Homo-oligomer: A and B are copies of this chain.
Amino acid sequence: MPELPEATVAAAVNALDTPTVVIDAGKVEANLRRAQAYADRYGLRLRPHIKTHKMPHLAARQIELGAAGITCQKLGEAEVMADAGIADIFLPYNIIGAAKLARLTELKRRVKLSVTADNAVVAAGYAATFVDPAAPLPVLVECDTGLGRCGVTTPEAAVELALVIAAAPGLSFGGLMTFPATHRTIEARAFLERTIALLVAAGLPPAIVSSGGTPDLYGAGEDAGTVTEYRPGTYVFSDRFQVEKGLGTYDDCALSVLATVVSRPTDTRAVIDAGSKALTSDLLGLDGYGYLPAYPDARIVSLSEEHGVIDFSASSRRPEIGERLHVIPNHVCPVVNLFDSVHFLQADGSIEDVPVAARGRVD
């Protein structure tokens, strides 16, 4: 995977025990710069989702390069990022319950914070917790523009909820949030445009219209008139799913799981020491559990927790026992979440072991 002097890299990587995560720092930097330049070109604010990397130094770098702030999916992730000095955090999640609202209150004292709601129960929780009109909590309305997960399901419901939020003394209506990208379908864009028109008519023009998703990142400019902010996550490392969706090539994948061939039971079968506890069981509609750059015709056919079974039937070259293989995972985000620390390969061939500070912040 790397573009560094091969021998230097090989020596550094050979010293690592497996399975482990290796990240090419130069590719990360290129991925971050490319996205920021694209967003800048279209006047979109970039608000990267840190769920993918979970590491404060990368969040800081994203902001240095021009990001407007970061996105976190969990309060616990936001707390880690605030501890590290990140100053502007968006939590696009319905935050519910006394314990979480107390933590949210504490977090709001430390950073520029915004959240979402898609229902009146959640909005009521915010309204009862945040009561200072001088420092209102911005709440964006989450819209379901086609995914079928969270989100109000009609423009009218969005406006109704925006009015509830705007009427609460300690809250402010922050705008609209949706996922995935609205330029993907005519219906999604129409949902947003109609909602915005209704909001304008109601005297509540949305300050922020936030869209997201890495696979559609480089089409986000199409919506720049409607959307003001974009939240890509996976772009920092990329993965097999992104490449298969057309985002760059495998050369842009900065992260791989390094594994060792521990068994060659048959001519065509190899077993590596990376299973579902290193690669996850995420298929995302793909065939097999990862991509092997050194053996593009091989197929990771099954995973158990600590074994990955690879079929080399279609590959003319086949590995020896003890050989090390880089695996580009199907879905990189939950992979990072499985490792306490990851190895960054620097331009000089040195390797830095970096803790995944926000790993396992489940709540």
Binding site for B on A (CB under 8 A): 17-20, 51, 73-74, 93-94, 96-97, 99-100, 118-119, 121-122, 144, 148-153, 260, 262-266, 269, 271, 273, 276-278, 280-283, 302, 304-307, 309, 320-322, 333-334, 337-340, 360, 362-363
Contacts and interface: CB of A to CB of B under 8 A. Distances in A.
B283 A93 contact: no
A121 B323 CA distance: 12
Contacts of A262: 93-94, 96, 122, 150
Contact of A20 (B148, B266, B280, B363): B363
A269 B147 CA distance: 12
Contacts of A340: 360
Contacts of A74: 306
A8 B318 CA distance: 59
Contacts of A363: 17-20, 273
Nearest to A276: B334
Best-surrounded residue of A19, A306, A337, A363 (most CB of chain B within 10 A): A363
A96 B18 CA distance: 10
Contact of A96 (B97, B260, B282, B338): B260
A262 B18 CA distance: 39
B338 A337 contact: yes
A322 B17 contact: no
B277 A337 contact: yes
Contact of A305 (B51, B122, B150): B51
A266 B151 CA distance: 10
A149 B304 contact: yes
B150 A96 contact: no
A145 to B, nearest CB: 12
Contacts of A149: 265, 271, 302, 304, 307, 309
B263 A119 contact: yes
Contacts of A19: 362-363
A260 B100 CA distance: 12
Nearest to A359: B360
A109 B338 CA distance: 30
A149 B153 CA distance: 46
B96 A271 contact: no
Contacts of A281: 280-283, 334
B17 A119 contact: no
24 contacts: A20-B362, A51-B305, A73-B306, A93-B262, A93-B273, A93-B306, A96-B260, A96-B262, A96-B322, A119-B265, A121-B322, A122-B321, A150-B265, A152-B265, A153-B265, A273-B363, A276-B280, A277-B334, A281-B281, A281-B282, A281-B283, A305-B333, A338-B360, A339-B360
